[in-house]
């Protein structure tokens, strides 16, 4: 595929998924990093911990993703020194939106999903476009495999419409173990159809006890 000489963006593929529960949040992403038909590495983490019980998973151009994560981590550290506490997940969600919107004329080529626990201990997931528009949802998927995964999540989780009055919680009805099993299933399915998703899936589970990670092998072809 030919590109203009001044074209600075490149999609390195990958898929990210997040599911919020009543007292937990599951964030997952595959570990494949590729360009076109070339796999650059099979062991690249797309998940970054930004604050206490708050992580971001990003797909897109890895140069922009690393710059964005470094920017957010620096601002969180400043917040920590100024206020003597870690930034909450909803506050980080707003900071991410502001940071993306600030760069709207030359955007970060990064498609993000932010997950964690809010101040009440409920799971929260925030989904973004490239220029900072975001909403709190019960689940989200971003990346090259998102069009394969979102229909399955819609079918299984059936998040209430944000237009309902009175508003209803967007958290999913699944237990923590059921949500992890669902994440494993959707990644195994997406790997069969998306060449940019594969190798391993990294799953981060956030609950009141803390954060834990697990890895599941996927197809490597």
pLDDT tens-place string over residues 140-155: 999 999 999 999 998 8
**Which pLDDT value is given to residue 1?**
44
* Average pLDDT in the chain: 91
CB 50 within 8 A of CB 72: yes
Query: What are residue 29's phi and psi, to 5 degrees?
Result: -155, 150
With CA atoms as reference, report the closest residue to 29 among 109, 173, 143, 132.
143
Task: Give me the percent of the chain exceeding a pLDDT of 70.
Answer: 92
Query: Residue 170: its pLDDT value, please?
Result: 66
d(CA 115, CA 97): 14
Find the mean pLDDT for residues 94-120. Answer: 95
Q: In what order do the strands lie in the sheet with 47-51?
A: 47-51, 54-60, 110-117, 123-128, 134-137
Lowest mean pLDDT among 58-62, 158-162, 177-181, 211-215: 158-162
Supply 63's token pair. 């140069």
pLDDT above 90: residue 113: yes
Round to the nearest angstrom and report the end-to-end CA distance of the chain: 22
CA–CA gap between residue 208 and residue 58 (Å, rounded) = 24
Q: Which residues, at least 6 apart from 79, have a Cβ–Cβ distance to it below 8 Å?
A: 87, 91
Query: pTM for this one?
Result: 0.89
How many other C-beta atoms can be found within 10 angstroms of the C-beta atom of residue 144?
Answer: 22
Contact 25, 19 (CB under 8 A): yes
In the structure, what pLDDT confidence band is assigned to residue 77 with cuts at 50, 70 and 90?
very high
Q: Residue for token digits 């299984």?
A: 156
Name the β-bridge partners of 116: 54, 124
The yes-or-no verdict on residue 172 having pLDDT over 90 is no
């Amino acid at each position: 595929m030919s590109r203009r000489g001044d074209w600075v963006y490149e999609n390195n593929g990958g898929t990210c998924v997040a599911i919020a529960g009543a007292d937990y949040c599951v964030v997952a992403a595959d570990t494949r990093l590729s360009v076109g038909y070339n796999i650059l590495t099979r062991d690249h983490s797309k998940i970054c911990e930004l604050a206490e019980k708050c992580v971001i998973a990003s797909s897109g151009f890895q140069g922009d993703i690393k710059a964005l994560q470094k920017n957010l981590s620096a601002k969180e550290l400043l917040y920590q020194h100024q206020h003597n506490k870690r930034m909450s997940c909803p506050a980080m969600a707003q900071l991410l939106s502001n940071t993306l919107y600030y760069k709207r004329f030359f955007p970060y080529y990064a498609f993000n999903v932010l997950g964690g626990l809010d101040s009440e201990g409920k799971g929260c997931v925030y989904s973004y476009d490239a220029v900072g528009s975001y909403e709190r949802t019960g689940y989200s998927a971003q990346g090259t495999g998102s069009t394969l995964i979102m229909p399955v999540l819609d079918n299984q989780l059936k998040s209430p419409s944000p237009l309902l009055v009175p508003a209803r919680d967007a958290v999913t009805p699944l237990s923590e173990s059921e949500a992890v099993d669902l994440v494993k299933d959707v990644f195994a399915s997406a790997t069969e159809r998306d060449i940019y998703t594969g190798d391993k899936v990294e799953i981060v589970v956030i609950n009141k006890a803390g954060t834990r990670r697990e890895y599941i092998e996927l197809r490597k072809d």
